[in-house]
Amino acid sequence: MKHTFLVLIFMTFCCKGLNAQFNANPILNIENKDKNLLNYGYFLGFNRYGFKFDYKEDRGNRGTDVQVLESTGFNVGLIGELRLNEFLDLRIEPGLYYNARTLGFPGFLATDEGRRDAFREVKSTYINFPLLLKVGTKRFGNFKPFLVAGPSASLNLGSNEQSLDDNSSGTFRLKKWTYNYEVGFGIDFYLEYFKFTPSIRGVFGINDELIPDNDPNSPWTSNIEAMRTRGLFVNFTFE
CATH number at residue 74: 2.40.160.20
Q: What total number of domains does the chain contain?
A: 1
In this prediction, residue 2 carries a pLDDT of 46
Q: State yes or no: pLDDT of 142 exceeds 80.
A: yes
* Cβ atoms of 43 and 6 closer than 8 Å: no
Q: How far apart are CA 25 and CA 218, in angstroms?
A: 66
Q: What is the pLDDT of residue 62?
A: 60
Mean pLDDT of 91-111: 90
Q: Give the range among 105-109, 170-174, 187-191, 206-210 with minimum mean pLDDT.
A: 105-109
Q: Is the pLDDT of residue 185 over 90?
A: yes
Q: What is the mean pLDDT of residues 133-138?
A: 94
Q: How far is CA 40 from CA 12, 81, 132, 172, in A?
A: 22, 6, 14, 38
Q: pTM for this structure?
A: 0.83
Contact 210, 221 (CB under 8 A): yes
Residues of the chain with pLDDT > 70: what percent?
Answer: 87
| pLDDT greater than 80 at residue 109 | no
146 vs 18: which has the higher pLDDT:
146
What domain range includes position 60? 2-238
